[in-house]
Amino acid sequence: MAIILDHVSHIYEEGTAMEVAALRDVNLVIPDGQFIGLIGHTGSGKSTLVQHLNGLMKPTSGNIYYNGEDINEDGFDRKNLRSKVGLVFQYPEHQLFEIDVFKDVCFGPKNMGLTEKEVQLRAYGALKQVGLEDEYFYQSPFDLSGGQKRRVAIAGVLAMKPEVLILDEPTAGLDPKGRDEILDQIAMLRKETGITVVLVSHSMEDVAKYVDRIIVMNQGSVMYDDEPRAVFRHYRELEEVGLAAPQVTYIMQELRRQGLEVGTDAITVEEARDEILKAVGRSRKMGGGGIY
């Protein structure tokens, strides 16, 4: 039960002067239940990559397997695949269309041909899962705030009960509070259901504390694919491609450079605090550190 990408490449306008390689020889295994951050600069190919995972785009070369089956083979049920690999696009405005929120969330399960009752149950469940209060269920989706629209969009996909949930920049355009709320909700959802989550983002800061694994894309290729700490050790290389490690990484690196014996692997503020306290304690015992 996994998604496997085998030498996947996607070239736009192949054979013309405007040829652009959006993906170059990407090899990945996405096992069940993992929480993955897919990071890359604008135009790095991350959005193209996720559209391959549910068969919206076809690779120009290479194969993609879902549970061992080639998804681009003739006769493969891609409609079914799309309910298993749920993709939520960046802008909720691109998918909301019904007269009220509840009906909109029903759209996905309805397309799966479920019974009316099952459709409604799923829609209700999905809206609860994304933490939307009942009072919004019968409002027009266009009257909601940005964060709420995003929740409805996510619920619209969740209602299909996917095994893999892919979120393309779910925090784009949200304020810091809205961003944290959405991300916390997704983390909680994952804990409760054990669903595989792929979070696409251009910000390390956003994903650092949630994910098990970070895949960094650059110019269509996978640059790093490792657990967050290991990826952030390459913070200098990340900067060169227009990305950045979380700010605490820089602080810890700088503290170390200045002579404080801290570990530099902290990725959240809390971890950094503990690490610094430990280091300060240590240096006090030894009779004062360099900079104090």
Partner 1 sequence: MLRDITLGQYYQTDSVIHRLDPRVKLVATILFIVSLFVVDNFAGYLIAAVFLACMVKISGVPFRFMVKGMKSIVFLLIIAVIFNLFLTPGEAVVTVWKLTITKEGIRIAMMMAVRLVFLIIGSSLMTLTTTPNNLTDGMEKLMAPLKLFRVPVHEVAMMMSIALRFIPILLEETDKIMKAQIARGADFESGNLIKKAKGMVPLLVPLFISAFRRANDLAMAMEARCYRGGEHRTKMKPLVYHARDRIGYLVMFGYLASCIYFGRILKL
Q: Footprint of partner 1 on this chain (CB under 8 A)? A: 51, 54, 56, 79, 82-83, 86-89, 91, 93-97, 107-108, 111-112, 142, 156-157, 160
CB of 138 to partner 1, least distance (A): 18
Nearer to partner 1, 97 or 138 (CB): 97
Residues 6+ apart with CB under 8 A from 136: 101, 144, 148
Nearer to partner 1, 166 or 231 (CB): 166
Helix (H, G, I), strand (E, B) or coil at 218: strand
Nearer to partner 1, 105 or 267 (CB): 105
- Nearest Cα residue to 88 out of 142, 21, 152, 183: 152
**CB-CB contact of 49 with 57 (8 Å):** no
* Residue closer to partner 1, measured from CB, 15 or 287: 15
> CB of residue 142 vs partner 1: minimum separation in angstroms?
7
CA distance 216 to 233: 13
CA-nearest of 157, 149, 207, 154 to 174 is: 149
Instruction: Give 112 or 241: the residue with its C-beta nearer to partner 1.
Output: 112
CB of 157 to partner 1, least distance (A): 6
Taking the complex as a whole, the smallest distance from the CB of residue 95 to partner 1 amounts, in Å, to 4
Q: Burial level of 18, CB count in 10 A (0-12/13-18/19+)?
A: exposed
Q: In this complex, which beta carbon is closest to partner 1, that of residue 82 or of residue 213?
A: 82
* Residue 290 beta carbon to partner 1: minimum distance, rounded to whole angstroms: 55
As a whole number of angstroms, the distance between CA 69 and CA 264 comes to 42
- The smaller minimum CB distance to partner 1, of residues 60 and 268, is found at 60
Instruction: Give the N- to C-terminal CA distance of the chain in Å, as an integer.
Output: 54
Minimum gap (Å) between residue 117 Cβ and partner 1: 18
The sign of the CA dihedral 11, 15, 19, 21 is positive
Nearer of residues 59 and 156 to partner 1, judged by Cβ: 156
DSSP 136: G
Query: 216-253 as b/e, with b when 16 or more CB fall inside 10 Å?
Result: bbbebbbbbbeebbebbbbbeebeeeebbbbebbebbb
* Pairing mode of beta strands 69-70, 61-66: antiparallel
